[in-house]
Amino acid sequence: MPQRRVVVASKVGLHARPAAVLAKTAAEQPVSVTIAKDGGQPVEAASVLGLMTLGAGHGDEVVLTAEGEGAEEALAAIADLIAKDLDA
């Protein structure tokens, strides 16, 4: 199962606007993507509420996981967003 580790760049973490942008992109992917803080329970990346309850703040490392055809591309698209300051 492909995974990616990425550091949250948004200054407010994965809350409000960054969570909405990320969830929209995740929902557009051909596979389901989960996201978790190290050692935490994974949540669906396509869920704004799930992303906000994750509690991932600026500088936290998160783990993305997906499975199936298109998983690597989906992970790359979502990882690119998380690595940007979406509030800038």
Catalytic residue annotation: 15
What's the confidence (pLDDT) of residue 9?
96
Residue 20 to residue 46: CA distance in whole angstroms: 9
CATH architecture of the domain with range 3-82: 2-Layer Sandwich (3.30)
**What's the pTM value of the predicted model, to 2 decimals?**
0.93
What's the confidence (pLDDT) of residue 88?
66
What's the confidence (pLDDT) of residue 86?
84
Joined together, the tokens standing for residue 28 give 């557009």
Strands (E), the chain: 3-7, 33-37, 43-44, 61-66
